[in-house]
Structure 1
């Protein structure tokens, strides 16, 4: 090997190369750039002229945090009347100690607008509560009306069923005693419609018809059960024909369905 050619494996060549770890120089440069940017921002803030609003806020905060001095005429008058710094207002010192807080108005709304908005919001809230309350009352009333209607319809069906039972019992008991015709037409179950038409044709059209009040199923049931108890000593709800009136009164709970529940 000639003297002009360098030996890449020799110590002389390796010492010429700087020992740089991967990534270290890049991180250092980024940190230095960030520090320079922060210093630049700080200088800009220090050199920037404050706006009038910022100066006004700083002056106000400084004034509010500074106690009133003796040079203030109002404070001097209070001291002449016996007031001492840190003492509450009033004859006995029970009044305010701190000044009334300052509320800065940040919008262009007139005085009293805030109270008006608050009152309007309360009125809207009250209206909403009244509407909700009225809706709940209407729903409760509708539900109660529905339940009452269902109870009424159920009771009517029960009365009609009891009436049919009492009519069949009346026809059977009357027949056993040799009674050929019911005391009233409705005491026994209804006859065929054809027979009813024949009976209607036999009536004289010229004869004045008497007005008869239509009885309700409940009225018919009461009349018919009284007839069965008085004539046949029979209780519809017991389903028993007793020996006599004394036997009926002694052993039957009563003359209504409720008495037998």
Structure 2
């Protein structure tokens, strides 16, 4: 049995009476009426009127026609039923055409024309960007191919020069076979060193000239280094050449300078050819003259060159 003090005494509980709505005073009523009159009497702005008109128009357009509408009755007589589509095809229109209200001074169809031109411009720009990307890739590919072919030309020039020098050495050694062994080894080198660049085959003449230019630069740097370590000496420009030769003052590199300064139209014409033509001429020269295939990297014993698949790089793939 529980404690009586802890039990709720429902008889002594206070129940509040419901509050009555407070009656509006005369001052409050007058202020409310003034606010309502001000709202009713305020003239709406042009923007507000246009917004109200647009809202009312959209509400009217969104509302379906009822059976009492004359237009709806005419459509029913033509066979239309509520919920059906207009037309006999599969893709017949199920909703009415959306009404677009013109609010500017542009002529009919102007917006459509602007959209069409804008769409064409966007498509043209996309095609141009795609074409530029394709041209860029093609240009990079051609540049890499040209660089690779120039390297092949350099290697072919070195091989052609070596083959030609070896053939000349064999001929020279045959002529001096009765001389001393040391003279046999020096004769071919001396002959090549004294040979003017104009007499070198144009196919690798550019290689020889570039080699001479590097040699000239090396000698100029060497002479400059040596001159800094010695006292300057006076050189008379009117001094006799024989006298300068007797004193050991001759210019050792004058012939090299003159040779490099000379114009070479034949070499310029060869260098002006496309890289594939220059490489092709080198390959054919080595095949016809030395029976050597640049792509096989092999010198055949005779001109038939049995076993060589062809004259181009693609033939050797």
Distance 1:66 1:237, change over 3 A: closer
After TM superposition, give the deviation of residue 226 of structure 1 in Å. 0.3
CA distance in structure 2 between the aligned counterparts of 1:173 and 1:135, rounded to whole angstroms: 56
Distance 1:223 1:183, change over 3 A: farther
Q: Does 1:260 align with 2:316?
A: yes
* Structure-to-structure mapping, 1:200-215, within 5 angstroms: 213-215=269-271
Distance 1:66 1:165, change over 3 A: closer
* Structure 2: stretches of 5+ with no match in the other structure: 1-8, 22-62, 83-98, 170-191, 217-254
Aligned residue in 1 for 2:259: 199
Among 222, 229, 237, the residue aligned to 2:280: 222
Among 161, 164, 168, the residue aligned to 2:151: 161
Q: Deviations over 1:151-202 (max 9, x none)?
A: 111111111111111111111111221166776234253241247633256x
SS of equivalent to 2:13: coil
- For the Cα contact (< 8 Å) 1:87–1:97, is it kept in 2? no
Aligned residue in 2 for 1:122: 112
Q: Select the structure with the greater relative contact order (CA < 8 A; seq sep ≥ 6).
A: 2
Aligned residue in 2 for 1:19: 13
CA distance in structure 2 between the aligned counterparts of 1:171 and 1:136, rounded to whole angstroms: 52
* Structure 1: stretches of 5+ with no match in the other structure: 1-13, 34-60, 69-85, 99-104
After TM superposition, give the deviation of residue 224 of structure 1 in Å. 1.0
Q: Deviations over 1:92-148 (max 9, x none)?
A: x757799xxxxxx9xxx8xx879x688333223222211211111111111111111
CA distance in structure 1 between the aligned counterparts of 2:75 and 2:161, rounded to whole angstroms: 102
Distance 1:147 1:226, change over 3 A: same
Distance 1:146 1:169, change over 3 A: same
Q: Does 1:237 align with 2:290?
A: no
Distance 1:145 1:20, change over 3 A: same
The normalised TM-score by structure 2 is 0.44
Between the two proteins, the alignment pairs up a number of residues equal to: 177
CA distance in structure 2 between the aligned counterparts of 1:94 and 1:141, rounded to whole angstroms: 55
- For the Cα contact (< 8 Å) 1:233–1:244, is it kept in 2? yes
The normalised TM-score by structure 1 is 0.52
Instruction: Indicate the larger mover: 183-192 or 126-135.
Output: 183-192
After TM superposition, give the deviation of residue 67 of structure 1 in Å. 7.6
Instruction: Indicate the larger mover: 122-131 or 217-226.
Output: 122-131
